[in-house]
Chain A
């Protein structure tokens, strides 16, 4: 009897053990999934997917956000996991095809408003994690809106030509001569961060060439100038400490300056959520880009006498309207009243940004590190074109700053620049 029961007991024990281990491995798989989704969410932040694929106040990743381009209006697509209108039927391979090759699952060409030229540097593992995260958000049934592109840009076959000129597929290749931290920073800046989309000059074809990567440029349609990251005259990060760059990127304010315009969006939606190690790595890489560039020669289209008149008048305007925060000597009270003396974003060859700041004012983004930002008042109503030109000329030229003079006409033109 005992002997008879033994195999049965053993079988039962084995069954219990087996099912127990199955249960354990199921739990482990769930934990793996959860970890993957969490990693994907973090990486989706680093890629700032939300900036284009979510309408302000709208459903997460439902797309439909209008983006004005020189070629017409493009509407972002629904990347929620809805099977009919989103990416619910895609596989991880399909998603990688978009990120890496800029092609839809059916092989169709994607307009380069989607920064696949940068995302191609993302590893397969990171792409899979982002895909797992996108699969985990609530599906939103919202059909994609057709783009409104002018002829001939409405012909997707043109993208083939564009790709030949400006696109090269390939994951990021670490530089073995550099530190792991530098390589991590480069991977984030060049890949998911897609910083080159704004910080490189855009040519007439809407392309950026690799040789001019990060050399700065006017952002089409927005009329903000994205400073060169390679020249110390512009973003000037080569001169900053790592902590100052970290504060600027993550908190939106630093002892050297604050983010504003389109960069405020990047800090608000993306950079403030990155961990310290990653922001620091980006800072290390960005600082290295700005090393050793010579200062470009000063360039002014305005005659010396006119320029000196503007300077004198500008000083009066400055002392009446600006000095109470930015101080008479232009040193500000950092980080909340940014310094103007020695601030490269004021002295760049393009005077678009300082003119717009005077006209429109602005708040740095609200972040965990700076939850209640100090706002700069708009002066569009209280200052005339002459006064704006004079005060911007003054802050570009006073206290050892080396920016060129600004004309009333330039100031006037920016009064109608779009604010959204």
Chain B
């Protein structure tokens, strides 16, 4: 302080050092501000059609995605770039953090597809299409489509464009998961119009008041998934 006054009195330019008490908030929210522009401050998602909501998805699922982005197995350059030099331990904290968040639901888009397409989407989600080898989505993603611990994601609260982009990526092998890659099999059995129908119906469903995934082992899954060991 004496130096400061001395400098002021002598008219010397003063650049006071940052106050030692001033510190960046020691929270994950502050550390993960980089995620907010695309995923929302609370992981609730944004208006942008291609960015998913993160809040409330099972931590195991989020961790699998974080590792896959870091190691380049799931390709999206802005995500690959952000995560490239982070440790497993930190990624696990990030996954656990977003899994525990319960922000208020964002309003759903009004779908512009036909009533018939919406009905087809609903039927695929809740009953599947046995003739084409498509199991009901709710068989793994839960009766309320909020996912299952530890690694099956909730599907509600996502944009139609994001859902169809992911189904396309599974189908063409640009998004892969641990073998057996169940979503690759399911997506390969869907037609283009099925994908549109599923995306439209799903994105028009409101997020339930409790978006928590169902506990591990609640559902007898109709097919084996490498990401969700039974």
Give me the interface of A with B, judged by CB distance under 8 Å. Answer: 56-57, 255, 264-265, 267-268, 325, 331-334, 336-337, 339, 341-342, 360-366, 371-382, 418-420
- Is there contact, CB below 8 Å, between B22 and A333? yes
What are some 29 contacts across the A-B interface (CB < 8 A)? A56-B84, A57-B70, A264-B85, A265-B85, A268-B85, A325-B33, A333-B18, A333-B22, A336-B24, A342-B15, A361-B82, A362-B82, A363-B82, A363-B85, A363-B86, A364-B85, A366-B87, A371-B90, A372-B28, A373-B31, A376-B34, A377-B37, A378-B34, A378-B37, A378-B82, A379-B37, A381-B48, A419-B77, A420-B77
Extra 5 A-B pairs, beta carbons < 8 Å, given A57-B70, A375-B35, A382-B37:
A57-B73, A333-B23, A365-B85, A373-B90, A376-B34
Within the complex, the shortest CB–CB distance from B86 to chain A, in Å, comes to 5
- Is there contact, CB below 8 Å, between A366 and B86? yes
CA distance A374 to B33 in the complex (A): 8
B8 sits at the interface (CB 8 A): no
CA distance A378 to B87 in the complex (A): 21
A-B contacts at CB below 8 angstroms, number: 98
CA distance A305 to B75 in the complex (A): 43
Closest Cβ neighbor of A374 among chain B residues? B31
Which one of B34, B67, B70 lies within 8 Å of A375 (CB-CB)? Answer: B34
- Is there contact, CB below 8 Å, between A360 and B81? yes
Closest Cβ neighbor of B23 among chain A residues? A333
CA distance A334 to B23 in the complex (A): 8
- Is there contact, CB below 8 Å, between A361 and B48? no
- Give the interface residue-count category, chain B: 20 to 34
Which one of A331, A375, A418 lies within 8 Å of B31 (CB-CB)? Answer: A375
- Is there contact, CB below 8 Å, between A57 and B34? no
Closest Cβ neighbor of B88 among chain A residues? A366
Closest Cβ neighbor of A359 among chain B residues? B78
- Is there contact, CB below 8 Å, between B87 and A371? yes
Q: Which residues of A lie under 8 Å from residue B71 when comparing CB positions?
A: 56-57
Within the complex, the shortest CB–CB distance from A332 to chain B, in Å, comes to 7
**Are A264 and B18 also in contact (CB < 8 A) when A333-B24, A377-B36, A381-B37 are?**
no
B89 sits at the interface (CB 8 A): yes
B72 sits at the interface (CB 8 A): yes
- Is there contact, CB below 8 Å, between B34 and A363? yes
Q: Which residues of A lie under 8 Å from residue B24 when comparing CB positions?
A: 325, 333, 336-337, 374
- Is there contact, CB below 8 Å, between B89 and A371? yes
